[in-house]
Amino acid sequence: MRAALCQIDTILGNKDRNIIKINHHIDKAIFEQCQLAVFPELAVTGYGLRDLVYDVGIDSNSEIFNQLKEKSRKIDILLGYVEHDSGYFYNSAVYISDGEIVYNYRKNFLPDYGMFEEGRYFTAGDYVETINTKFGRVSVLICEDMFHISAQNVALKNNTDILIILSASPFWMDSSSIKPTLWHSVASNFARLSGSYVLFANRVGFEDGVGFFGGSFVMNPSGIIIKEAELFKEELIISEFDTNDIKRAKWAMPGLKNEVLDYDYR
């Protein structure tokens, strides 16, 4: 499998300009003969939207995805956007393949602590789904979801081969180590226990003084990073990996042989 992680900056609230950039990176990924292009959380709109949420929300059938659908005949695409459905707004992601949207995921856990205000503007999703793709079974989580064992448990229960995390993760304190190291740790834990690849696509840039550090990576089922983007820099990184490693890792992980995912703790 050959995957492109598109670590981009976005213009807050400007869907048209952001879609132009997204299409540009998809074209680069196609030129590099990639089979999958992954973009960060809320790549279509930017992250710190607040009341702009109500202006930039679109449904999953929006014409803004038409060009991406055409390109998806050559490459699968996963990206984040603001979904508007029946008066509600969601922090969502679409998986586009073979000319159509095959999966729409809504972020389950909306942070509303510290600098985060997602709970004020978005409605939470209520499930984690795993889909069959050309590359195996893929689960999608969005940023905060990854820090909840319950979401990881569903991905594990669904026999995930590749876990993809879309993120708009900001930095604070020691920007060069604390947040990247935290992501490496939680991803490595899941990769090793589940025998899965983990793809982490994080954005870069600044919004109203909030900085996003990037550091996107591809991690193998042994918890080892095999490709990583730079910090604070727009970049498209390409990683080629053997999905047969997933089968070997799952066979080698003794705990998976007798895992009870619906264990009754009473």
Dist CA 205 CA 157 (whole Å): 35
Residues 6 or more apart whose CB falls under 8 angstroms from that of 153 comprise 261
Q: Tell me, yes or no, whether 264 lies in a domain.
A: no
Dist CA 171 CA 205 (whole Å): 11
Q: Tell me, yes or no, whether 266 lies in a domain.
A: no
- Give the CATH number, domain containing residue 143: 3.60.110.10
Q: Tell me, yes or no, whether 263 lies in a domain.
A: no
- Residue-wise pLDDT tens digits, 53-106: 999 999 999 999 999 999 999 999 999 999 999 999 999 999 999 999 999 999
**Region of residue 86 (phi > 0: left; psi between -120 and 50: alpha; otherwise: beta):** left
Confidence of residue 263 (pLDDT cuts 50, 70, 90): low
Q: Tell me, yes or no, whether 262 lies in a domain.
A: no
- Residue-wise pLDDT tens digits, 158-186: 999 999 999 999 986 555 557 899 999 99
DSSP single-letter state for residue 229: P
Dist CA 111 CA 120 (whole Å): 9
Quick check: pTM over 0.75?
yes
pLDDT the model gives residue 265 = 45
Q: Tell me, yes or no, whether 234 lies in a domain.
A: yes
Q: Tell me, yes or no, whether 239 lies in a domain.
A: yes
pLDDT the model gives residue 8 = 98
Rg (C-alpha) for the chain, rounded Å, is 17
Q: Tell me, yes or no, whether 41 lies in a domain.
A: yes
- Per the structure, the count of domains in the chain is 1
Q: Tell me, yes or no, whether 153 lies in a domain.
A: yes
The domain of 49 spans 2-257
